[in-house]
């Protein structure tokens, strides 16, 4: 394929910059621009001079010969000094000598097209690059390592074997026992169905890892919501004053806790207000409550419940919630039957205990990332579609319609193949690789 080139390191000044080429003729392009005292041999770091347009850059070259490379094609990488201008000059030199600027994710797309990586494993690479928590990173590594691919291929192999048996029954009915064949196929389909159910059972944990926990901090004005947000973040993110109604819009910030992302939404205090701007903020607060996975309802521990407090208790009663009694540094006047966490946002008292309580509500105290976890919506949708094909195939076996069984087995194989990329549409494949950064 035509050679492509891109910078594989972040833009800006740095110690080194890596410019990568892949495709036919990349070694010829390199030899025109790079001089050294030894032969360029695969997988050896070679010191030399990159010369172009008055620039003589001492740099390193590494050559990976096809098919033993990331893309499955010949690859040449230049490691030069990390100046932005210098990197751009090296890139332009390679483009002017026959390479084309790569599109986002084009190196990995070529790896996929050349059979070096499956589509699901490529998505694992994206997840590793974009991981913001330890759990996301581990889940990404599990996907990148091919664990899902191996599971899916094993299921496809079972389906292929059954399809061959059923088609044999259709082609040579006099030599095969249709009833016995369909009974065996039904048993295998139930086994495949069970395996898919087991994979889909991890999707809840996967959603938690991928999206995190959305926690809305709500309460009446001046109860300490913004102070609580700052305490949870460990930094002053929200403005804190004694003036009620200071927060007039929602503020969203995230932390990583025990490998899981917690997204805190600091909301405007909920109360009756004639101020137009404040009323908009209050409406957004109510929407944030509706969208939240859990509500942190902040109450003032130094005073009795007010009508505003009671309204919020009623408003959030159908949501998972934690009652947070703030201002523990003052004399406690509020007594509740419902479980609560007593904190002082000002002094940071029991803030870690509150994080632990949020984590426990959703994770039960532990997230196991040692095995395969489904975090990708595309994989979940494909497996759900495959599950439906299993059910259709089982029903067809029970009413002894081998032609329908054969057709359904083919559809089942194709749904599973969407995960690995064997049967996925070109537009979906392009969309997946467009999520990569340039140079990957």
Spatial separation of the C-alpha atoms in residues 374 and 417, rounded to whole Å: 16
Residues paired with residue 50 on neighbouring β-strands, in sequence order: 34, 57
* Residue 137 Cα distances to 61, 205, 258, 260, 365, angstroms: 30, 14, 13, 11, 19
Binding-site residue ranges for GTP: 222-227, 241-247, 266-269
Binding-site residue ranges for K(+): 222, 241, 243, 246
* Residue 29 Cα distances to 1, 23, 38, 64, 139, angstroms: 14, 11, 17, 14, 39
10's CB contacts (< 8 A; 6+ apart) are none
The residue whose two tokens read 């009833």 is: 179
Strand-strand pairing, 75-82 and 55-64: antiparallel
Spatial separation of the C-alpha atoms in residues 172 and 176, rounded to whole Å: 7
Q: Residue 433, Cα to own-chain centre: how many angstroms?
A: 14
Binding-site residue ranges for (6S)-5-formyl-5,6,7,8-tetrahydrofolate: 20, 77, 116, 440
- Report DSSP letters for 50-110, one per residue: EEETTEEEEEEEEEE-TTSSSSSS-EEEEEEEE-HHHHHHHHHHHHHTT-EEPPTTHHHHH
Binding-site residue ranges: 20, 77, 116, 222-227, 241-247, 266-269, 440
Helix (H, G, I), strand (E, B) or coil at 337: coil
Binding-site residue ranges for Mg(2+): 226, 247
* Residue 191 Cα distances to 148, 149, 160, 411, angstroms: 17, 18, 14, 17
Characterize 147-175 residue by residue with b for buried, 16 or more Cβ atoms within 10 angstroms of its Cβ, and e for exposed.
bbbebbbebbebbeebbebbbebeeeeee
Spatial separation of the C-alpha atoms in residues 19 and 79, rounded to whole Å: 7
Spatial separation of the C-alpha atoms in residues 105 and 122, rounded to whole Å: 10
198's CB contacts (< 8 A; 6+ apart) are none
């Amino acid at each position: 394929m035509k050679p492509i080139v891109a910078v594989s390191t972040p833009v800006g000044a740095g110690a080194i910059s890596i410019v990568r080429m892949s495709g036919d003729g990349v070694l010829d392009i390199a030899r025109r621009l790079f001089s050294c005292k030894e032969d360029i041999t695969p997988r050896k770091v070679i010191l030399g001079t990159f010369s172009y347009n008055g620039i003589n850059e001492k740099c390193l070259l590494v050559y990976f010969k096809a098919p033993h490379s990331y893309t499955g094609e010949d690859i040449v990488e230049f490691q030069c000094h990390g100046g932005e201008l210098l990197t751009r000059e090296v890139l332009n030199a390679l483009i002017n000598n026959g390479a084309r600027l790569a599109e986002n994710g084009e190196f990995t797309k070529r790896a996929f097209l050349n059979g070096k990586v499956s589509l699901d494993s490529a998505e694992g690479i994206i997840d590793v690059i974009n991981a913001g928590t330890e759990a996301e990173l581990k889940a990404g590594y599990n996907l990148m390592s091919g664990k899902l691919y191996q599971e899916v291929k094993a299921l496809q192999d079972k389906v292929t074997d059954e399809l061959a048996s059923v088609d044999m029954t259709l082609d040579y009915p006099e030599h095969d026992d249709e009833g016995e064949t369909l009974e065996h196929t039904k048993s295998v389909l139930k086994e495949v169905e069970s395996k898919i159910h087991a994979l889909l059972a991890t999707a809840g944990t996967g959603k938690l890892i991928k999206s995190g926990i959305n926690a809305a901090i709500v309460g009446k004005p001046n109860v300490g919501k913004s102070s609580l947000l700052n305490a949870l973040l460990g930094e002053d993110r929200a403005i804190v004053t004694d003036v009620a109604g200071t927060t007039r819009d929602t503020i969203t910030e995230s932390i990583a806790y025990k490998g899981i992302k917690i997204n805190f939404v600091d909301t405007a205090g909920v109360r009756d207000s004639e101020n137009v701007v404040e009323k908009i903020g209050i409406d957004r607060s109510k929407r944030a409550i509706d969208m939240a996975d859990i509500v942190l309802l902040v109450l003032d521990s130094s005073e009795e419940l007010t009508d505003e407090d009671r309204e919020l208790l009623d408003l959030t009663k159908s949501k998972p919630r934690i009652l947070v009694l703030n201002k523990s540094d003052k004399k406690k006047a509020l007594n509740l039957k419902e479980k609560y966490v007593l904190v002082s946002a000002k002094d940071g008292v029991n803030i870690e205990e509150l994080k632990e309580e949020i984590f426990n509500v959703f994770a039960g105290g532990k997230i196991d990332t040692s095995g395969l976890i489904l975090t990708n919506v595309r994989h979940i949708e494909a497996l759900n579609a495959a599950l439906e094909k299993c059910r259709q195939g089982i029903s067809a076996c029970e009413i002894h319609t081998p032609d329908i069984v054969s057709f359904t087995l083919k559809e089942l194989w194709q749904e599973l193949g969407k995960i690995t990329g064997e049967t996925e549409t070109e537009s979906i494949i392009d969309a997946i690789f467009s999520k990569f950064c340039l140079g990957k």
